[in-house]
Amino acid sequence: MHSSPSRSLALIVGAGASLALVAGCGSSSDSGSDDGSPSASSSASSPASAPASRIAVVASTNVYGDIVGRIGADKVDVTSIISDPDQDPHSYEANTQNQLTLSKAKVVIENGGGYDDFIDRMLKSGNSSAEVINAVEVSGKTAPEGGELNEHVWYDFPTVAKLADSIAAALGKADPGDAAAFTANAAAFKDQLAPLEAKEAQIKQQHGGEGIGITEPVPLYMTAASGLVNKTPEEFSEGIEEGSDVSPKVLQETLALYRGKQVKALVYNAQTSGPQTEKVKDAAKAAGIPVVPVTETLPDGKDYLGWMTANVDALASALAQ
């Protein structure tokens, strides 16, 4: 995800992520105040002041913060640096509070693949000794020949299952006495991923080979696992992701997908918008083609499993129309 003009303004105005608990996932907070001072709504227990009995964990986004919270339960204190949809990990400017929080962490979870490079920069500058889990490295995914790596690996459920095992191992290394509990929690979490993969398989059985459109590559692991074919010109989705204007020719090729009803749904990144993506969304609606919004960070009140269940269900419903 890259900044659009509207999101860049939001980033300038509100670069500090609100500090909030990750629901049901042990003790957790989000860190990102501009001035380097903790937000007034910060939980009393964060990695900078975590009780000795808990493992201080930092996640680059609340997606990974939620997952590690479910595996670590009440044995971890989790800080998610980014939780606000108006914050773009690609261009996030770290601050002294983030640096302090990372310096206290025993385990760090980042996405990798160029998505949240600010984590690596801070770890290097602070000489951190934390155990670092890189989700893209865990996934084993690489860029296709002549193409770009799709770094949005949290939309790939097999990767998330591997990540759960890596998290359990890292937490067990930090707290050997609770290693068995972390392993059990990871197994339970993976069991809850299974219905999501089953839903994808059902979509593939019913709609495999059907075309869909996107605005950015965010949902492509989910749509590919569902047997769907992305018809969007690569120049369009890459241009939007990079925050660049798309050429009029490519834009018209993209709009033609909807005017000609060549796709069954538009899977739309609701966290970024601009004149060109709005034209695509308007074209889909005008043609009666369902629009399925997706996001890159957890919506308010959602955990990872509930969020992804809603995404897969929305995709299935759109295709059934």
Higher pLDDT, residue 177 or 147: 177
Q: Grade residue 24 by pLDDT with cuts at 50, 70 and 90.
A: very low
Which tens digit of pLDDT belongs to each residue from 84-105? 766 767 677 878 899 999 999 9
- CATH node for 196-320: 3.40.50.1980
Q: Of the ranges 42-46, 244-248, 254-258, which is most confident?
A: 254-258
- The alpha helices in the chain, defined as continuous H runs, are 5-13, 62-72, 96-104, 117-125, 135-139, 157-174, 179-207, 220-225, 234-241, 248-259, 275-286, 304-320
| Phi (first) and psi of residue 236, to 5 degrees | -75, -55
pLDDT at 28: 53
Q: Grade residue 29 by pLDDT with cuts at 50, 70 and 90.
A: low
Least reliable range by pLDDT among 84-98, 115-129, 305-319: 84-98
pLDDT at 13: 31
The answer to whether 116 and 92 are in contact (CB under 8 A) is yes
Residue 216: pLDDT over 70: yes
Residue 243: pLDDT over 70: yes
pLDDT at 43: 35
pLDDT at 90: 67
Of 224, 212, 216, 214, nearest to 263 (Cα)?
A: 212
* pLDDT (mean) for 194-215: 98
Question: d(Cα 312, Cα 228) in Å, to the nearest integer?
Answer: 13
Q: Which CATH class is domain 5-192?
A: alpha beta
Least reliable range by pLDDT among 1-10, 60-69, 180-189: 1-10
Residue 176: pLDDT over 80: yes
Q: What is the largest CA-CA distance in the chain?
A: 61
Residue 52: pLDDT over 50: yes
Token pair, residue 71, equals 């595996």
pLDDT at 159: 98
Q: In what order do the strands lie in the sheet with 27-30?
A: 27-30, 76-82, 55-61, 107-110, 131-134
Would 5-192 and 196-320 be classified into the same CATH topology? yes
AA letter at 159: T
Burial of 66 (C-beta count, 10 Å sphere; 0-12/13-18/19+): buried
Residue 12: CB atoms within 10 Å: 12
Looking up tokens 């509930």, which residue turns up? 306
Q: Where do the structural domains in the chain lie, given as residue ranges?
A: 5-192, 196-320
pLDDT at 229: 98
Which tens digit of pLDDT belongs to each residue from 274-301? 999 999 999 999 999 999 999 999 988 8
pTM of the model: 0.84
pLDDT at 14: 36
pLDDT at 42: 33
Put residue 24 in one of left, alpha, beta given phi > 0 → left and psi -120 to 50 → alpha: left
pLDDT at 8: 37
Residue 18: pLDDT over 70: no
